[in-house]
Chains A and B, each alone.
Chain A
Amino acid sequence: MKLTGSKILLECLLREEVDTVFGYPGGTVINIYDDLMDYPINHILTRHEQAAVHAADGYARATGKVGVAIATSGPGATNTVTGIATAYMDSIPLVVITGQVPTALIGNDAFQEADMVGITRPITKHNFLVRNINELTTIVKKAFHIARSGRPGPVLIDFPKDVQLDSTVFSYPDKVELAGYKPTVGGNARQIEKAARMILEARKPLIYVGGGAVLSDAAQGLRELAELAQLPVTTTLMAKSIFPSRHPLCLGMLGMHGTYYSNMAVTNCDLLIAAGARFDDRVTGKIATFAPNAKIIHIDIDPTSIKKNVRVDLPIVGHLNDVLQKLADKMKEQGDKVDALVERTHGWRSEIAEWKKAHPMKYTPSTSVIKPQFVIEKIRELTRDDAIITTEVGQHQMWTAQFFDFIQPRTFLTSGGLGTMGYGLPAALGAQVAFRDRQVIDISGDGSFQMNSQELATLVQYRLPVKIVILNNNFLGMVRQWQEMFFDRRYSQTCMELPIDFVKLAEAYGATGLRAEKPDEVEAMIKKGLETPGPVIMEFRISREENVLPMVPPASGLNEMVLAS
């Protein structure tokens, strides 16, 4: 029996075990939407295509599955670009399907035509234009395989309308053949052995974990290695949830807004074990003074990440959880050497403890104005350990990273690589779709919230009880902070002059809005917000010129932190 292209696409999605897609219809995908009514696939209609992609991304980050988004050609497709680039920078597995004008019109400036394969080439792991119905199933199969394997990433399928209408016999391939694409997963045994030796000889070892650890679900391997050899662990923003914040070996985040003790540990370590991290400039500060005394072991699934920004003494290409597990096993074979290592590095751990004591993460409390850090701490106290926290981008994002404790992997979803304002709300939506019963909270600034606030409608429509925390300083706070510190307090275009009534806004959409203006209202309001069914905006009027500290000024070394204003 022959099926149309649009039905074949949906059959393929079923074979890939896709039960939920996020999207927005239009002329060139209207057939897919028509067929969707007959398929057991959940569709979430967002209010903007960018949000559909972020939602699919949040769904993917929270579950580890491939997220799927659909948009129409032209403006629908171009609206997906920021979402795709966000996922690309953070290596999130997505399949984005865009409608395209009929093949005969491609290249003719047809109505609602945009060259999506061209536009998304630099921001996708791979992309496809379906030119012929006979290649459709192979393309979909390849797309999912590419998106989820190796270093994950977004894949775009541009799907012309005439191919959707064309028909052929459906048969889904059970294997993919990609001559050149064979990611290395195992990790070279000799290199792993060498790494074990380097760790056993170290005096001041430190593990530096990145988002790759979350993507490869490496919590177990990481914890085993760290505990076995008593190795202190510092994480990037992206890896916050992979190692429990309260673990005695956890040093918190490193880099521009990292902890003093993390950055001192990096500066003074003699062996840095980089695991699924890519030495982003927000992490390294001035490269010349980054881990100046350290030998570097770099474990990553993507060979291009290795030696890109820093010299590396021992590269290991492979799946992180695998490699860490094998590394721990290798070391266990030499039990007495491990004991000697733990013994020898005792002083190093005390040195770190001293730094921690001298400059712990702190802020100046207040009884008159609400401190954002205080709000974050209270949210932490009042939420469950498996709550999923998303953020937008700005100061609130850094305060969340600094003052929230994460216990379980995949509970912190944030745009690290691209730094996309407007990410958090749709990502929270996607995570809540995946886990209807978990607490999902978007921590936002007043600026970022307004980038995708229309998604309140989606939350209300689908009864998604996302809680939105707005730390309202009436500023584009992070930029204002830079203007304060580096531009003589010339606050050019960072004051959001118009005070918005977020409570009324919530109500206009049929959600609940709450506001706190004084510190003593904070706790009760968070409780109330969390208990109130359905989507809730909790607005906190925070102290307006609070800064994120400590901070490594741009182009400075990690040891040149500004600790207080």
Chain B
Amino acid sequence: MKHTISVLVENEFGVLSRVAGLFSGRGFNIESLSVAPTLDPSISRMTIVTSGDDQILEQITKQLNKLIDTIKVIDFTGHDFVEREMALVKVCAEEESRAEVLRIVDIFRAKVVDVTPKSYTVEVTGAPGKINAIVELLRPLGIKEIVRSGPVVIGRGPKGWKSS
């Protein structure tokens, strides 16, 4: 089962490799990982998507908690949260397909951020499912390159992580 976990860590040198090393050293799988400082610049927030059964997940969260630099671990499974990912897709766009690309971009409320006579580069944000969907539609037109950020998530409701 897929799990999305937020880890708040001290914004210290080497933290990212500690977290990543914990996963690789124990044979846990990381599907995606994104990280940046929070409102408080001394704290970074990572969003990690991983998978495994309940027992593996329990070990993952316990091990993350055990790292000295970890301040809080939130497993969003079973909780209500907003999830967004961004992708940049460079897609072939010559005469016959230019209009089709724009039509798809429009439907998905995506944005064209770079244009050449042969291509469009499209910026799209949304839940990972939405991104998968637009990628599937663009694929037959010829995708030259794609880059995805991996999801970031935040809990729904008025409370911040400190009170959650």
Verify A302–B66 contact, CB threshold 8 A.
Answer: yes
Closest Cβ of chain B: how far from A160's Cβ, in Å?
13
Pick the interface stretch among A118-126, A209-217, A525-533. Answer: A118-126
What residues on B are CB-neighbors of A304 within 8 Å?
Answer: 59, 62-63, 66
Task: Report if A441 contacts B (CB, 8 A).
Answer: no
The complex places the Cα of A117 from the Cα of B69 at a distance, in Å, of 15
Q: How many residues of A contact B (CB 8 A)?
A: 18
List B49-84 residues whose CB lies under 8 Å from chain A.
55, 58-59, 62-63, 65-72
**Residue in A118, A122, A181, A307 whose beta carbon sits within 8 Å of that of B25 in the complex:** A122
Task: Report if B27 contacts A (CB, 8 A).
Answer: no
The complex places the Cα of A181 from the Cα of B63 at a distance, in Å, of 13
Task: Report if A179 contacts B (CB, 8 A).
Answer: yes
Task: Report if B21 contacts A (CB, 8 A).
Answer: yes
Closest Cβ of chain B: how far from A131's Cβ, in Å?
7
Verify A179–B13 contact, CB threshold 8 A.
Answer: no
Task: Report if B123 contacts A (CB, 8 A).
Answer: no
Task: Report if B85 contacts A (CB, 8 A).
Answer: no
The complex places the Cα of A303 from the Cα of B63 at a distance, in Å, of 9
List A99-132 residues whose CB lies under 8 Å from chain B.
117-118, 121-122, 125-126, 129, 131
Verify A180–B70 contact, CB threshold 8 A.
Answer: yes
**Residue in A125, A303, A307 whose beta carbon sits within 8 Å of that of B68 in the complex:** A125
* Given A303-B65, A307-B55, A307-B58, residue A180 in contact with residue B71 (CB < 8 A): yes
List A127-181 residues whose CB lies under 8 Å from chain B.
129, 131, 146, 178-181
Closest Cβ of chain A: how far from B85's Cβ, in Å?
27
Size bracket of the B interface? 20 to 34
Contact with A along B1-23 (1 / 0, CB 8 A): 00000000110011001100100
What residues on B are CB-neighbors of A125 within 8 Å?
Answer: 68
Task: Report if A308 contacts B (CB, 8 A).
Answer: yes
Closest B residue to A305 by beta carbon equals B62
Verify A118–B68 contact, CB threshold 8 A.
Answer: no
Closest A residue to B68 by beta carbon equals A126
**Residue in A126, A129, A146, A179 whose beta carbon sits within 8 Å of that of B71 in the complex:** A179
What residues on A are CB-neighbors of B72 within 8 Å?
Answer: 180
The complex places the Cα of A118 from the Cα of B17 at a distance, in Å, of 8
What residues on A are CB-neighbors of B62 within 8 Å?
Answer: 303-304
What residues on B are CB-neighbors of A302 within 8 Å?
Answer: 66
Verify B68–A180 contact, CB threshold 8 A.
Answer: yes
The complex places the Cα of A439 from the Cα of B72 at a distance, in Å, of 48
The complex places the Cα of A190 from the Cα of B128 at a distance, in Å, of 43
Closest A residue to B67 by beta carbon equals A180
Considering the complex of A and B, which 4 residue pairs feature the smallest CB-CB distances, nearest first?
Answer: A180-B71, A304-B62, A126-B68, A180-B70
Closest Cβ of chain B: how far from A377's Cβ, in Å?
42
The complex places the Cα of A302 from the Cα of B18 at a distance, in Å, of 18
**Residue in A121, A129, A146 whose beta carbon sits within 8 Å of that of B13 in the complex:** A129
Closest B residue to A179 by beta carbon equals B71
The complex places the Cα of A255 from the Cα of B59 at a distance, in Å, of 24
**Which B residues fall within an 8 A CB radius of A?**
9-10, 13-14, 17-18, 21, 25, 55, 58-59, 62-63, 65-72
List A489-506 residues whose CB lies under 8 Å from chain B.
none
What residues on B are CB-neighbors of A118 within 8 Å?
Answer: 17
Q: Which of the listed residues A118, A122, A304 has the most CB atoms from chain B within 10 Å of its own CB?
A: A304
**Residue in A121, A180, A308 whose beta carbon sits within 8 Å of that of B21 in the complex:** A121
Closest B residue to A121 by beta carbon equals B21
Closest A residue to B65 by beta carbon equals A303
Verify B68–A131 contact, CB threshold 8 A.
Answer: no
Verify A146–B17 contact, CB threshold 8 A.
Answer: no
Chain A to chain B contacts (Cβ below 8 Å), 10 pairs? A118-B17, A121-B17, A121-B21, A131-B13, A179-B10, A180-B9, A180-B69, A302-B66, A303-B65, A304-B63
Verify B68–A129 contact, CB threshold 8 A.
Answer: no
Closest Cβ of chain B: how far from A276's Cβ, in Å?
16
Verify A308–B18 contact, CB threshold 8 A.
Answer: no
Q: A146-B68, A180-B67, A304-B59 are in contact. List 11 more A-B contacts (CB 8 A).
A: A121-B14, A121-B17, A122-B21, A125-B68, A129-B14, A179-B10, A180-B71, A180-B72, A303-B62, A304-B63, A308-B59
Verify B10–A180 contact, CB threshold 8 A.
Answer: yes
What residues on A are CB-neighbors of B55 within 8 Å?
Answer: 307
The complex places the Cα of A180 from the Cα of B44 at a distance, in Å, of 13
Closest Cβ of chain A: how far from B159's Cβ, in Å?
19
The complex places the Cα of A308 from the Cα of B13 at a distance, in Å, of 29
Closest Cβ of chain B: how far from A185's Cβ, in Å?
15
The complex places the Cα of A131 from the Cα of B9 at a distance, in Å, of 19
The complex places the Cα of A307 from the Cα of B65 at a distance, in Å, of 15
What residues on B are CB-neighbors of A121 within 8 Å?
Answer: 14, 17-18, 21
What residues on B are CB-neighbors of A179 within 8 Å?
Answer: 10, 71
Closest Cβ of chain A: how far from B44's Cβ, in Å?
12
The complex places the Cα of A307 from the Cα of B25 at a distance, in Å, of 19
Closest B residue to A118 by beta carbon equals B17
The complex places the Cα of A151 from the Cα of B25 at a distance, in Å, of 20
What residues on A are CB-neighbors of B13 within 8 Å?
Answer: 129, 131
The complex places the Cα of A117 from the Cα of B21 at a distance, in Å, of 12
Q: Which of the listed residues B14, B21, B25, B70 has the most CB atoms from chain A within 10 Å of its own CB?
A: B14
The complex places the Cα of A284 from the Cα of B114 at a distance, in Å, of 61
What residues on A are CB-neighbors of B65 within 8 Å?
Answer: 180, 303
Verify B59–A181 contact, CB threshold 8 A.
Answer: no
Verify B68–A181 contact, CB threshold 8 A.
Answer: yes
The complex places the Cα of A303 from the Cα of B10 at a distance, in Å, of 21
Closest B residue to A181 by beta carbon equals B68
Contact with B along A285-305 (1 / 0, CB 8 A): 000000000000000001110
The complex places the Cα of A302 from the Cα of B10 at a distance, in Å, of 21
The complex places the Cα of A146 from the Cα of B68 at a distance, in Å, of 8
Closest A residue to B66 by beta carbon equals A304
What residues on B are CB-neighbors of A126 within 8 Å?
Answer: 68
Verify A303–B14 contact, CB threshold 8 A.
Answer: no
